[in-house]
Chain A
């Protein structure tokens, strides 16, 4: 009798294992991604081998301006919503694992080098919250207080940096902070992160980037023409201003949308970033961090993203010129292609090796996939007011 029961239980276990094997083990996650559907608070899980949609997951609140990072095994996506929602998604089971509302208004986040921590930058109340990536339990709360009155600043440009650090910028305060979560720092500081602050870095940093090697953190300034750079190998040298007064003498155009700095890259010894208030892409010499040129483009650039091989840079634009994408050759600095996918081109994502690029076209309710050599439209999938596109290869990029 006992034997029979044991066999029965064993059979149950074997069948369960086989079932789960059947459901999950037949595919990996390396070719997956998430498309944000702003209008319906939903996402689609897509795959880039055949360019299809695998699932839609709903119930994620306000996903305007949402961003996504991935666990190091690419099994889980963490979605940061504008409404302060943080949602953990199982990319294979197509399910919400956990969802919390961690603030009133958030703008983005990053996962730590070792994958244990998720940091979110918040507008309301201004600061950074750090969570356990497994459980989404709060690990640390870092209010972005500044000045004598304890006012709190909105936080932007949050990235992860080598050494279990997060680096971020304070929009209202004009500061850059480093939060060090390394074991050494925690041990010395009663299990709290060590915060290093850099003041007077410039007016209104709006976003920031970190170089792919994790060395340079660069914040774009909205309140003045220039960028603030911190060399994380030599933080004792402080923050240095680069590209100072790049728009000097020119009339600044109205800025209808804040540009983004994520997605930039270095091509050879040059980097490409959006100018603020000018219809130009700025070229930076990364040997000495001086301006190496300007490329007149169709409108105010929003994303300036390099194809993974660095040979071409793709640019989209702010309203009212957001129906167009331009491609720049990074050697000649010439525009080699202008595509007009339709109104509301909000985001682009290159497949990890760059042969195709995914482009969201909000007003057409479509995500288009283009061949990056021929510019041919390879595929197009339906989506409800798509905005951000985030592929799992982000799991292995410093900063995200």
Chain B
């Protein structure tokens, strides 16, 4: 587990500042299109840390990249890299998305 965290931290750190800014916009605008700009849920469920409690980072990364069957959640692989998804998952879990209240 510690090893996994270390790896993901290194990977996240590998994203450029400009890419982070793009991902931040994508998180609010495009994830927000269905989950609400506050990420408190709309067509899709809440992505606030309390709502995600108990879900592993690996699960969240996989959901972002591969989508969820029988729901409107699309697979973002191709638009987002694994590093991108990992960075987004970190922001969601840490509540550092900057989503307005």
Known: A62-B100, A222-B72, A344-B29. A258 touches B41 (CB 8 A): no
Instruction: Please give the distance in Å from B13's CB to the nearest CB on chain A.
Output: 24
Known: A254-B74, A255-B74, A256-B79. A82 touches B29 (CB 8 A): no
Residues of chain B contacted by A258 (CB below 8 angstroms): 33-34, 43, 72
A contact residues, total (Cβ < 8 Å): 24
Q: Other than A254-B74, A254-B75, A258-B33, give 11 A-B pairs with Cβ distance below 8 A.
A: A62-B36, A64-B36, A82-B37, A105-B41, A204-B72, A254-B78, A256-B79, A257-B33, A319-B29, A344-B29, A363-B25
Residues of chain A contacted by B41 (CB below 8 angstroms): 105, 124
Counting from the closest, the 7 A-B pairs by CB-CB distance are A254-B74, A64-B37, A320-B79, A319-B30, A254-B75, A105-B42, A255-B74
Query: Is A38 a contact of B37 with CB atoms below 8 Å?
Result: yes
Residue of B nearest to A171 (CB): B43
Residue of B nearest to A362 (CB): B29
Instruction: Please give the distance in Å from A246's CB to the nearest CB on chain B.
Output: 18
Residues of chain A contacted by B63 (CB below 8 angstroms): none
Chain B contact surface mostly:
loop
Query: Is A256 a contact of B37 with CB atoms below 8 Å?
Result: no
The proximity string for A residues 112-141 relative to B, scoring 1 for CB distances below 8 Å and 0 otherwise, is 000000000001100000000000000000
Query: Is B29 a contact of A255 with CB atoms below 8 Å?
Result: no
Residues of chain A contacted by B38 (CB below 8 angstroms): 62, 83
A88 interfacial contact with B, CB 8 Å: no
B67 interfacial contact with A, CB 8 Å: yes
Query: Is B37 a contact of A62 with CB atoms below 8 Å?
Result: yes
Cβ contact of B43, chosen from A83, A123, A320, cutoff 8 A:
A123
Cβ contact of A82, chosen from B30, B42, B74, cutoff 8 A:
B42
Residues of chain B contacted by A105 (CB below 8 angstroms): 36, 41-42
Number of A-B contacts (CB under 8 A): 53
Which residues of B, 45-98, contact A by the 8 Å Cβ criterion?
A: 67, 72, 74-76, 78-79
Chain A contact surface mostly:
loop
Query: Is A256 a contact of B30 with CB atoms below 8 Å?
Result: yes
A384 interfacial contact with B, CB 8 Å: no
Which residues of A, 226-259, contact B by the 8 Å Cβ criterion?
A: 254-258
Chain B residues within 8 Å of A, Cβ to Cβ: 25-26, 29-30, 32-34, 36-38, 41-43, 67, 72, 74-76, 78-79, 100
Q: How far is the CA of A362 from the CA of B30 in the complex (A)?
A: 12
Q: How far is the CA of A123 from the CA of B33 in the complex (A)?
A: 13
Q: How far is the CA of A254 from the CA of B77 in the complex (A)?
A: 10
What are 14 of the A-B contact pairs (CB < 8 Å)? A62-B37, A64-B36, A65-B33, A107-B42, A124-B41, A124-B42, A222-B72, A254-B74, A254-B75, A255-B72, A256-B74, A256-B79, A258-B34, A362-B29
Which residues of A, 47-104, contact B by the 8 Å Cβ criterion?
A: 62, 64-65, 82-83
Query: Is B43 a contact of A64 with CB atoms below 8 Å?
Result: no
Q: How far is the CA of A221 from the CA of B57 in the complex (A)?
A: 32
Q: How far is the CA of A120 from the CA of B67 in the complex (A)?
A: 30
Residue of B nearest to A320 (CB): B79
A366 interfacial contact with B, CB 8 Å: no
Query: Is B36 a contact of A82 with CB atoms below 8 Å?
Result: yes
